[in-house]
Structure formats: C-alpha cells, structure tokens
C-alpha cells in the first residue's frame, strides 16, 4: 500500500483472554492473524496480551518484562508482509506502569500510545496501579491518521476531541468493558454515538468476551460511521472475527455495512452472563465439575440449571441433604429438578449429624431455649458435608444464595455460604424467579444442556423457605420479596436513604429502617462470601466496599 491508500480491510477480533498467560494470548492472536492474511490491520481488545483486569499481578516486574519481550516477538512476525496488529499490553518506564496499545507492522513496533483517562470507579481501580499517559497524538500509518483512544479514553470526550483536533481520520477504541444490565445499548447509543457526533469521525468499538473472576465481558462490539449510522454490530457473548471494509471518499473514511447482530434482551442476557462466567471460572481453574446442595427450592434449582448449561449435566452433581424438617414436597421437587436437568442426584440425610451435635452441645445448651443457633447448625452440617464431597472427589462447591438474602444476612456463614463460586450473588430474588420462568421456556444460546423446561413448576410457585424449623417461610421475618427487592435496590444500587425509599414506595418507615440495619450488619458476612458474577452497577465486592464496623444509619 502507498500513501494514497483509498481502501482498508480491518478485522475486529472480539475474543477472550487468559489473565497472566501471555503465551496463550499471543498464540491466540497469531491464530487470528493467520486466518486473515489479506487484511490490512487486525484489532485486538484492551490488554489482549496480558489479560484484563490484571489487578496487582501487573505489579510484578517479571510480567511487564515478559510482556515487552512477547510484544517485540509479535512485532517481528509482522515483517512477513501480512496484516499489521493493534495489541493492548502493559509498559514499564522506570517505576511507572502504563496501559498501552502498540501498532505492530513491517517487523517493528510502529507506535505505542498510553491510556490517558484511568477509571477509578466500580470494578476499576486503574489509578492505583497505572500512571496516566499524556493526551495521545494521532498515529500516522500507511498514510492514514489514526486516533487510538483506549477504553475510558473513548468514554469521555476530551481524548477523542483532542485526536480530532490533530486531524485523526478514524477512531479505534479497544476496550475491556465488563457486562452490566443495559450497558450494551448505552455504549452504542449514548457513549460512542456522542463521540461520533462531537468529532464527526467514524469509530470502531472493540470489546472482549469471557469471564474473569467476578466480572464477565459481553463483547457487543460495533462500528459507527461518521454520520452516526451503525455499520456493524458483533454478537454478544461469543467470539467473532468481523472483517470490515473501508473506503476513503470526499467526506472521509466510510465503512461498508455488514451484519447487525441482535443483542439479547432481559433476562436472557443475565442468564448468558451467568453461564459464561461460571464456565470460564470452573474450566480455567481446572475443576472437573461442580457439586451443590439441591434443596427443592428455587435458588438451588436455578443454580443447578445454570451449571448444567455452563458445563454440561454430566459435570453437575446435586446432593439433597434432608433433615427432619424437610418436606416430602421438597424431596420430590429436588428429584424432579435433577431428572429434568439430567444431572446426578444423591441423597445424604443429616439427621444423624444433627443428633450428634445436639448430644455434644447438650451440656453447654442446657436450660437455654432453642433458637436460630440450632438452625445454623443444620446449615453448617450441610456445608461440611458438601465440602467433604468436594475435597474427596474434586468438584467445586457452588453456593446458591441470592442478593436479597445476602443483603440482609439471611445466610449462614460457614454453612450455605461455604463454597467456591455463587452464580446468584448479584441477582435479587425476583430476578431469580424471572430467570427460572425464562429458562423453562427457552434454551440459552450458550447452553451445553439444550433441554427445556428444567425446573418443576411447583418449585417456582411455592413460598420460599429454608426449612430449618417447622412450617418456616421466608416472609415470617422478611417483607414479601417484591417489596424487599424494591427497598434493597434503592438502598444498594441508588445509595438512597430510608426517607427516600419511604417517599417513593410508601413502605412503613420502621420496616425500611430495619432492612437498612440488616444490610449494614451483614457486611462482615459478605466479606467472607465466595465470588460471583457481577450483573448490576453495584455488586457486593468490587463495586460496593463498605466498612464492616461503622455507626451510620439513615433510619
């Protein structure tokens, strides 16, 4: 190509990453490049070489050193006359670390650009690790002036406007943008549509896919032309290598239109987030499968269904752990659910262990009324039993508590909270009901268990109960879940006060104040809870970091 280039072929590689596995990430990029020998440029997501987010792993000097070596090797490989590569990595300059993209072409590193806007909210704490780069200059490559805003650089106007002022002809934004409910459309119609309107330039938005601990990336990459029209939309949740073709005309570079993928609506998108995050967590940590307690309730039922969809039913081991309070209906529902999913179900009664603990504690508990302590003992016996199976045979133990329960502390530490991962950690109870109903009527696109329905209707319709005492119901001590979830959404997601919740919904102030108190008191439990996929803007863990010990209340 010459300086008079009038056409471009750019491949958008929407792909996953393995944090810290530089060799695997580099090989994956090589494979993409090999499949598109006629392209001019291959784009890869943010931090594709080292994986995102690297967190404090990137503070190890050896990682940055190996990344520099690997980047130089990739650059040399572009000396074969094939496509150039835009690769995200880390760069060390003395004691400072930078989040960078590097343009590799003709056997060399043509240019690097450092991320200017470092996010420091929600899941992001980049200011703690990286140094912001200067406002980036355009990169002149093959006669074209490219603007290379890295993720947050494109989410705020300053960098893109600066690049436009320098004469950029095309903005290429590589991202590591985690999934949140409704974020896919917001990226396109609000954030990057605004960058196009402000600069008049076409934008390529490229995002990664895949799970990384508590966050999951949904892809949803796209191309916007300078007139604001959408030229391409890539799939959500799945890898894709989209070939885009560009022509330079009187008004600048224009992308030919291509496929416009339909992104999943609710609650299908939530379910896909749960599938992909659990699959990557289990497989990348090399567990042979999962084990979980199947109680006959809706939370464990939907977790079993998610696990079978993520891993296949042959890798899901359900265990019913009945006590003397377990109803026959729950036994039947658990058996029916396992049969519909197609997974293994064992039954291990805990009555003998409960009796043993009663005997052990009889002297210490003499003349003291039975209370929640005895209920918690049952839960902890179940946790010990399931952990024993996990230790003996290797599957990871899933926990099944939802966000409503975790908000108010209705979970037993070292009991039903014991385990390695919780698919429902950021899903309120009413979301769980919605997911169960949706899954019974649909087979998820990512599923490895293409059957439906998977949950007996009796599980969905019966009143929720922990069954730790006779005739127990959750609503004995909590507001009805539709009301509770409204309160919690305001208190957690919106950081609202008690009075604001009362003003919006008309709940009794005393009830809202009690729920706020329970929310604050349960922080110590949440600190000890297993990880689980982030769905909302304020998940427990990465987003909402409250002190355990404090005295502030609004009610």
If asked whether residues 227 and 301 sit together in one domain, one would say no
Q: Is residue 538 part of a domain?
A: no
Return the SS3 of 223. strand
User: Residue 178: beta bridge partners?
Assistant: 217
Q: Which domain holds residue 93?
A: 7-255
Q: Quote the CA–CA distance of 144 and 457 in Å, as a whole number.
A: 60
Could you report the average pLDDT of every consecutive run of 10 residues in the chain (555 residues)?
A: 76 97 98 98 98 94 97 98 98 96 98 95 87 97 97 97 98 97 93 97 98 97 98 98 96 96 96 98 98 97 98 98 93 97 98 96 93 93 98 98 96 95 97 98 98 97 76 80 97 96 97 97 95 93 87 91
| 87-114 b/e (C-beta count within 10 Å ≥ 16 → b) | bbbbbeeeeebbbbbbbbbeeebbbbbb
Q: Select from 471, 487, 515 the last residue of a domain.
A: 471
> How far does the chain reach from its first CA to its final CA, in angstroms?
68
217 and 317, same domain (yes or no) = no
Q: What is the pTM of this model?
A: 0.95
Q: From CA 532, how far away is CA 540, in angstroms rounded? A: 9
In a domain, 74, yes or no: yes
CATH of the domain at 452: 3.40.50.620
**Whether 435 contacts 400, CB under 8 Å:** no
Tens of pLDDT, residue by residue over 444-496, are 999 999 999 999 999 999 987 766 667 767 777 899 999 999 999 999 999 99
Q: Specify whether 115 is catalytic.
A: yes
CATH of the domain at 103: 3.60.110.10
291 and 250, same structural domain? no
| Residue 387: alpha-carbon gap to chain centroid | 25
Rounded-to-integer distance, Cα 8 and Cα 77, Å: 21
Contact 379, 412 (CB under 8 A): yes
145 is catalytic: no
In the set 117, 126, 151, 425, the catalytic residue is: 151
Residue 281 lies in a domain: no
Say yes or no: 345 and 436 in one domain: yes
The region, left, alpha or beta by phi > 0 then psi within -120 to 50, assigned to residue 238 is: beta
What is the count of structural domains for the chain? 2
| Domain match, 194 and 111 both | yes
Sign of the Cα torsion 331, 336, 337, 342 reads positive
Q: Is residue 263 part of a domain?
A: no
Integer CA distances (angstroms), 435 to 19, 292, 303, 479, in order = 30, 19, 10, 21
**pLDDT tens, position by position, 491-527:** 999 999 999 999 999 999 999 999 999 999 999 999 9
């Amino acid at each position: 190509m010459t300086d008079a280039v009038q056409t471009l072929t750019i491949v958008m590689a929407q792909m996953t990453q393995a944090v810290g596995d530089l060799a695997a990430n580099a090989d994956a990029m090589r494979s993409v490049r090999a499949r598109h020998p006629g392209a001019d440029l291959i784009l890869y997501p943010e931090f594709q070489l080292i994986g995102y987010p690297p967190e404090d792993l990137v503070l190890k000097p050896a990682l940055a050193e190996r990344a520099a070596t690997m980047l130089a090797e990739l650059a040399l490989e572009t000396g074969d006359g094939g496509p150039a590569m835009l690769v995200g990595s880390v760069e060390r300059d003395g004691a400072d670390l930078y989040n960078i993209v590097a343009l590799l072409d003709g056997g060399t590193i043509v240019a690097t650009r450092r991320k200017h806007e470092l996010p420091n909210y929600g899941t992001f704490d980049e200011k703690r690790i990286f140094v912001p780069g200067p406002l980036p200059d355009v990169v002149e490559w093959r006669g074209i002036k490219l603007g290379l805003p890295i993720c947050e650089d494109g989410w705020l106007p300053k960098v893109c406007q600066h690049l436009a002022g320098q004469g950029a002809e095309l903005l290429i934004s590589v991202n590591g943008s985690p999934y949140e409910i409704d974020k896919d459309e917001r990226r396109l119609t609000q954030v990057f549509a605004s960058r196009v309107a402000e600069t008049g330039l076409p934008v390529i938005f490229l995002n990664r896919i895949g799970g990384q601990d508590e966050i999951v990336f949904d892809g949803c990459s796209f191309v916007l032309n300078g007139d604001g029209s959408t030229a391409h939309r890539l799939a959500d949740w799945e890898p894709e290598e989209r070939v885009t073709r560009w022509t330079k005309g009187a008004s600048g570079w224009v992308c030919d239109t291509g496929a416009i993928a339909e992104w999943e609506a609710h609650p299908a998108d939530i379910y896909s987030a749960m599938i992909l995050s659990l699959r990557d967590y289990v497989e990348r940590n090399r567990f042979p499968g999962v084990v979980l307690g199947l109680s006959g309730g809706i939370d464990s039922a939907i977790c079993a269904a998610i696990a079978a969809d993520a891993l296949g039913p042959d890798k899901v081991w359900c265990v019913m752990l009945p006590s003397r309070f377990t109803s026959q209906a729950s036994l039947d529902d658990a058996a029916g659910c396992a049969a519909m999913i197609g997974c293994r179900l064992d039954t291990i009664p805990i009555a003998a262990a409960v009796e043993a603990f009663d005997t052990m504690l009889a002297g210490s508990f003499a003349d003291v009324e039975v209370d929640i302590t005895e209920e918690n003992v049952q839960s902890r016996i179940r946790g010990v039993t399931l952990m024993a199976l996990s230790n003996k045979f290797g599957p990871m133990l899933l926990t099944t508590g939802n966000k409503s329960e975790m908000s108010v502390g209705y979970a037993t530490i070292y009991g039903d909270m014991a385990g390695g991962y919780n698919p429902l950690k950021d899903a309120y109870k009413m979301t769980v009901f919605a997911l169960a109903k949706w899954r019974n009527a649909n087979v998820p696109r990512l599923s490895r268990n293409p059957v439906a329905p998977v949950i007996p209707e009796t599980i969905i319709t019966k009143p929720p109960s922990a069954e730790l005492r006779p005739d127990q119901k959750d609503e004995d001590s909590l507001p009805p879940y539709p009301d509770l979830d409204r309160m919690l959404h305001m208190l957690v997601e919106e950081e609202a006060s008690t009075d604001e919740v009362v003003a919006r919904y008309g709940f009794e102030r005393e009830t809202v104040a009690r729920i706020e108190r329970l929310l604050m008191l349960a922080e110590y439990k949440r600190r000890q809870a297993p990880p689980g996929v982030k769905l909302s803007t304020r998940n427990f863990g990465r987003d909402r970091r409250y002190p355990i010990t404090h005295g502030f209340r609004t009610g």
